Amino acid sequence: MATDPTTDPAIPEESPAAPAAAGDVSVLADELLGPAQPAVSTTEGVDASDPETVVSTPGWVTMGEPGGPQHRRPLLGPRRVLMMLAAGVVGALVVVGVLGTLAARQLAEREAVNDAATMAGVLAKAVVQPSLTDGLLTGDPASIEAFDRVAKDQLLIDPIMRVKLWSETGKVLYADESQLIGQTFPLSDEQLSALQRHETVADVSNLDASENAFESDARAVEVYRPVWTPSRQIALFEFYTSYDAVGDRTTQLWRGFAGVTASSLVLLVVIVVPFVWALVRRLRRAEEQRIQLLQRAVDASADERRRIAASLHDGPVQELAATSFTVAGASATASVHGQGALSRDLDAAAVAVRSSIRSLRTLLVDIYPPSLARSGIVAALLDLAQTTRRDDLVVRVDAADEDDLALSADAQRLVHRVAQECLRNAAKHAGPATVVVSLHRGGPSSATLDVVDDGVGFDVAQVLQAPREGHLGLHLLGDAASVPGALLQLSSAPGRGTRWRLLLSGELGAAS
């Protein structure tokens, strides 16, 4: 019949560490790091409404990922993916609409400029040039009046809104706005190009030049065309057409473009949605299967650890215990027969066997703590304290009653894992020290584990910046606590000891 290695009477063992009083824990913690400061921030994974579960003091460093990777990256559902796809389509429509409007406006302006240039050529040859006289160049009133009648009858018709004649020097020979006649303005680059190259120049104008002081519109299509008098003297024919035609043409082009674009996007969505839906469902099934496989691996690992622990306990541990008694009996017999040297050798062998038994018992607790499943977290912490302590390391446990803690199985395993790793670190690095392990409830849905030592301490920032392989224990602790409802914090400084704090909240910290 198998027996528990931590209580087997055949195995010599040391007496368990006595729990420390709650006051001793508070005093030691205050001596190491000072009294707790008021909370200055909340951390994800902790119930911020409960002041007992929110602790943020200078020097605290959060280990791992609060809330766990699954909290940070929630799995996308089909509905959310479709909403994202719809948002993307709407965004694409907005972008395409803006770009389409700009493209349609540029195309409409180009058409309006080309139409105005063509119109200028026709009007110059058919109306303007036959009506020119040399008297216009000298400012003859009769010539100006005659040309004004021609302009109003044949030129100032929709969409033309302004007509002018310029000399080579920039003097206005004629304008349907009579106040401009006779004034001189600097010629623009477009006007000079039309006069010098004998070509038609058309473009969209903002009407911000001094010659446009009487214009009411903000923009217009401006056209320049050289013409000649009967004596072959050159003049510059100019007219403006309304920009409203550009706006109307832009609207027409944009409607046609938007209709084609929108219908294409809608058709694309209709085609893509079924494939996206199927892919997302397949991804979700794959993720669920992966989670199930991980859980099976964890369960299988726990079963294997339990089997190995049972095999070690029922096999080598029992055999070593029997060997210890046999050797001790042989030593007593040798002593009775006066064989002192043999008796001393047998005593040394018995001591070595008992040391091996203690090492195996420590290994058994590390592999699978039977007291955790049988007696609860408090008994498991006491076992950890007993197997960890040595001559230069005193371990004390301060924990509430098991019934008051009422932690779930997952919470107990996490607390045991963190406490075990913290004690290992203290045993390796703290030097001669006293370690206090404290576990108490902070409320109906929260619990706190503190592991405090008064050892040599260390520079947390420097250690965390070192490669992961150099301080694997710290990173293992962070990884272990990266689950929803858990928050692991560390505070330490050279010569100030080390303090670990595990905060449990939500379902993980709720009383079962």
> Looking at residue 192, which CATH number applies to its domain?
3.30.450.20
Q: Residue 225 belongs to what domain range?
A: 98-248
Residue 35 has what pLDDT?
A: 46
**CA–CA gap between residue 12 and residue 7 (Å, rounded):** 10
Neighbour count for residue 389 (Cβ, 10 Å)? 18
The pairing of beta strand 446-453 with beta strand 498-505: antiparallel
**CA–CA gap between residue 391 and residue 414 (Å, rounded):** 28
Render pLDDT for 219-261 as a digit per residue (tens, 0 to 9). 889 999 999 999 999 999 999 988 887 777 777 777 777 777 7
Residue 136 CA, distance from chain mean position: 75
* 133-148: average pLDDT: 91
* 189-204: average pLDDT: 91
* 417-424: average pLDDT: 85
Kindly tell me if the per-residue pLDDT of 12 is higher than 50.
no
Domain for residue 290, yes or no? no
122 against 496, higher pLDDT: 122
58 against 222, higher pLDDT: 222
Domain for residue 211, yes or no? yes
Residue 15 has what pLDDT?
A: 37
Lowest mean pLDDT among 69-73, 169-173, 461-465: 69-73
Residue 69 has what pLDDT?
A: 45
* 430-459: average pLDDT: 86
Domain for residue 68, yes or no? no
Non-local CB neighbours of 446 within 8 Å, separated by 6+ positions: 46, 47, 50, 52, 53, 503, 504, 505, 509
**CA–CA gap between residue 297 and residue 103 (Å, rounded):** 59
Domain for residue 85, yes or no? no
Domain for residue 353, yes or no? no
Whose tokens are 């017999």? That residue is: 333
Domain for residue 418, yes or no? no
Question: DSSP letters along 94-108, please?
Answer: HHHHHHHHHHHHHHH
Residue 128 has what pLDDT?
A: 92
User: Which of 372, 374, 376, 423 minimizes the C-alpha distance to 401?
Assistant: 376
Lowest mean pLDDT among 160-174, 186-200, 202-216, 460-474: 460-474
User: Which of 245, 228, 248 minimizes the C-alpha distance to 237?
Assistant: 228
**CA–CA gap between residue 193 and residue 294 (Å, rounded):** 79
Question: DSSP letters along 457-487, please?
Answer: ---HHHHHHS-GGGGHHHHHHHHHT-STTEE
DSSP-assigned letter for residue 41 = -
72 against 54, higher pLDDT: 72
Percent of the chain residues past pLDDT 70, beyond the cut: 77
Residue 77 has what pLDDT?
A: 66
Domain for residue 41, yes or no? no
Q: For the chain, how many structural domains are there in total?
A: 1
Residues counted in the chain: 512
Kindly tell me if the per-residue pLDDT of 121 is higher than 70.
yes
Write down the number of H helices and E strands in the chain: 17, 11
Domain for residue 500, yes or no? no
- β-bridge mates for residue 505, sequence order: 446
- For the chain, the average pLDDT equals 77
Lowest mean pLDDT among 29-43, 262-276, 456-470, 493-507: 29-43
340 against 59, higher pLDDT: 340
DSSP-assigned letter for residue 184 = B
* 2-31: average pLDDT: 41
> In terms of pTM, does the model score above 0.75?
no
Kindly tell me if the per-residue pLDDT of 165 is higher than 90.
yes
Strand (E) or helix (H) holding 164: strand 160-166
* 93-100: average pLDDT: 80
Non-local CB neighbours of 79 within 8 Å, separated by 6+ positions: none
187 against 351, higher pLDDT: 187
Question: DSSP letters along 190-246, please?
Answer: HHHHHHHHT--EEEEE---SGGGTT--SS-EEEEEEEEE-TT--EEEEEEEEETHHH
